[in-house]
A and B are shown apart, each in its own frame.
Chain A
């Protein structure tokens, strides 16, 4: 047994506490009649120390309880059988097998397993080996061991997944895993060595641990030469009724070849298209006149005939066919330019919105409750009656996007928000300045795509902001352009310029369309989760509008425990297909496909492989250092079994016994008043 946190053993000093406490004499609770108290004097100190200990058994229990507590915190561990011993002749074979998607191509993985077995068979009698599977992450299958049979069993049980392997990430992970190695080691990399797997920086593929350490990089290429592959690269919906599938071919002959693309919508085959294509590159299959169900639709495009890597022959996509959401726009003039710009931007948004412009003069505030959010073209035109109704609407959970039109410019205080208002910043000639945007809060959901804002010029009003206001876009410290304030359960986004192009060029810039789409998504509390993901990514449930939820994977299994559903989670995506995400904000369908980089069979060049090997070996050779091996050392820490859990159980039992015994001593009576 070892104590890996001896500092906590200082807690054993606490054993003195019960010993001392049990010597204390506390105020007597039982009364005794005495003839007179005229000669008595109350004891000054009600607690004093006795020489004789009281309640020895209770004290022993309490001391044991404290001792167990201290030991539990000290995290004592038991060591299992020692790992493989290391001598000066020991070579540590680090066997890494590529289990990425591309290894699922016919024959590749079987070849990799055979190569791994060959490596094990060639090991010397003093050698040890460790086994790792590399894909999106590096998994340790076995630590250093001399047990070849166990390693062979692990190799035989291994299967490729659908992740993407990056050699830079792999080497970085291996660095940490093999840094403690005491032996000379050989890194055996069994892979198909795709070009797409190389790191962006070549230096990332050189292990850090080789500095001063002998290392040999042994590459075992199991790629089939010039393997042809065709994959569905993307699936899009155009004009809400046409599905466009982009297909890509590699290592194909120039001779034209017929392909059949099949479209399934929500699991049912709806169309087949024959496409003829020769050579490599992209080609397209169109599926016109498709009728979609309302809401999320599952689109699966499959390609035939199949090839050596069937996993990328089908692609999944989600198309949201929800009807355009109504958006209320309050204006003094439904035919104004501002209404036109806003309507155009929202109606072309991917989600699709239908703008309902209403004249403020005829507006009945009661209809606001039908809309999750609304747009006010000029907040200065809001009357006092409407202002009260708007405040109730926002505090009740509604949201408002308000712009500052000509009516606002003449006000000293802003309706609804109550800001004191100043006019636009003026130049030396007394004319209002049109300034550029310099600050953007890109952490805000509506500004994640912040490109295009810097070339916007605007003349803005200058409200005096409060501490709770969040400036999302600003020209400078005094000139906010977009401000957010929460009011009750709702929120208000204030644009300090107009929605027409009279005081800014924002409405006529391309960023306005995406901006309005994000504003609409944000204020209507729509899901922000991306519906198109690749294996190896993560579902960030925090973006679903609620911290809790449940995720059902393509095989129909719940991924989150009951406890996990109550907190924000990042759920790893390991399977292709559709993940169903249930959150308080609604139900979301997420299509997950294999990483398209795995579809490209193009291998690393021989030159690149040689460079990699020589770089690794050369670095080690240049280090010119002799490895000093501690003859008594072990290649790895023996397996440690933490026994603090046992102590916790003992702790509970002791606490129970202490309570019972304490009650007995204290003569605690229950069940009566």
Chain B
């Protein structure tokens, strides 16, 4: 029992973004996160990752051919793939914001790093559940795009895409969302990982069509501790990482007015998410990723 508790503690320690950031390989990070997270679940029947067979379903484009039951094919001449417990026969589209503002980080880990780790972890988790995983990296335009796939090697492709992502340019949701709608017709899960420094109206306008089109959307709202609760001792001249505009602010403002404004913005994003039937998960990038993964599983369970 004591050994199990120690292992659990170590696993959660691994979910700390600072520790994870020290790992060079994003795949390793994802594996560490998910495995550590799974250990922490105490084998909950609700969220089990067993390989217990449940049913067959018809093979579809993007499904891994490894899971085709060739015996059935031999008997019937039709391609069926096996479904297992926990499998939702879905696909997960990861949309990672790589705008310049995501490059901000106060504790040695930027929001983009956390976003990449989260995206990789989600991709790993989905892959274990045989879900097709795709990724779209965007800023004010689409930077990378991999359509959802569950074939062998697609996870590595997603992770490599994430690995080479760097923060740049501004934020715009219209182009990625339009592209998404053009190419993804099948119902699935969409995880938008961003700091959402945009107008809520713009966000609504661009994400609502996804929800209306049958996609289940979850917004991972990443914010740095220094953005959530800044604590400065002296007046500081802040330069916007996206626009370059400089504003000098006083400690008093950052302690009171700014916090009110950022909380109001978070509330507005939450409200917008509710308005389009999406989930909103606020992630403090200084905290472990457990909450984010929990939220995803809850979301998946709810929508699956």
Q: State the A residues within 8 Å of B (CB).
A: 25, 27-43, 46, 48
B247:A35 contact, CB within 8 angstroms: no
Which of A29, A33, A39, A46 meets B239, CB within 8 Å?
A33
B234 in contact with A25 (CB, 8 Å): yes
List 6 extra interface pairs beyond A25-B250, A37-B246, CB under 8 A: A32-B236, A35-B227, A36-B195, A39-B258, A40-B238, A43-B250
Cβ–Cβ contact B234 & A36, under 8 A? no
A interface secondary structure, majority: loop
Q: Across the interface, do A31 and B237 meet the contact criterion of CB distance under 8 Å? A: yes
Encoded as 1 (CB less than 8 Å from any A CB) or 0, chain B from 265 to 277 comes to 1000000000000
| Chain B interface size range | 20 to 34
The 23 listed contacts between A and B (C-beta, < 8 Å) are A25-B235, A25-B250, A27-B235, A27-B248, A28-B235, A28-B237, A29-B237, A32-B237, A33-B104, A33-B238, A34-B238, A34-B241, A35-B103, A35-B197, A35-B240, A36-B101, A36-B197, A36-B240, A39-B258, A40-B253, A41-B253, A46-B248, A48-B235
Docked-complex contact A31 and B239, CB < 8 angstroms: yes
Closest-by-CB residue of A relative to B251 is A25
| Chain B contact residues: helix, strand, loop or mixed | mixed
Structural contact, B262 and A28, CB atoms closer than 8 A: no
A39 with B265: CB separation less than 8 A:
yes
A30's closest neighbor in chain B, by CB? B237
CB of B245 within 8 A of chain A? Answer: yes
Number of A-B pairs, beta carbon distance below 8 Å: 81
- B36 to A: closest C-beta gap in Å: 28
Write the nearest CB–CB distance from B188 to chain A, whole angstroms. 30
Is the CB–CB distance between A39 and B242 below 8 Å? no
**B224 in the interface, Cβ–Cβ < 8 Å?**
yes
- Contacts A35-B111, A40-B258; is A28 near B253 (CB within 8 Å)? no
Q: In the assembled complex, which residues on chain B have CB atoms less than 8 Å from the CB atom of A32?
A: 236-239
The CA of A31 and the CA of B195, in the complex, are separated in Å by: 22
B55 within 8 A of A: no
Give Cα A561–Cα B208 distance, bound, in whole angstroms. Answer: 95
The complex places the Cα of A46 from the Cα of B235 at a distance, in Å, of 9
**Do A33 and B241 touch (CB < 8 A)?**
yes
Checking B234, B235, B243 against A37 with a beta-carbon cut-off of 8 angstroms, the contacting residue is: B243
A35, B239: Cβ atoms closer than 8 Å: no
Q: How far is the CA of A6 from the CA of B294 in the complex (A)?
A: 78
- The smallest beta-carbon distance between A44 and chain B, in angstroms, is 9
Name A26's closest neighbour in chain B (CB-CB). B235
User: Does chain A have a CB within 8 A of B257?
Assistant: yes
Residues of A close to B258: CB separation below 8 A: 39-40
Q: Is B66 an interface residue (CB 8 A)?
A: no
In the complex, A41→B261 CA distance in Å?
A: 11
Looking across the interface, which residue of chain B has its beta carbon closest to that of A46?
B248
With contacts A25-B235, A39-B262, A39-B265 taken as known, whether A34 is within 8 angstroms of B240 at the C-beta atoms is yes
- Find chain A residues with CB under 8 A from B253 CB: 40-41, 43
Shortest CB–CB separation between residue B239 and chain A, in angstroms?
5
Q: Which residues of A contact B237 (CB under 8 A)?
A: 27-32
Q: Chain A residues near B7: list those with CB within 8 A.
A: none
Query: In the complex, A35→B248 CA distance in Å?
Result: 14
CB neighbours (8 Å) of A35 from chain B are 101-104, 111, 195, 197, 224, 227, 240-241
A40 to B262, CA, bound (A): 10
Complex Cα distance A27/B247, Å?
11
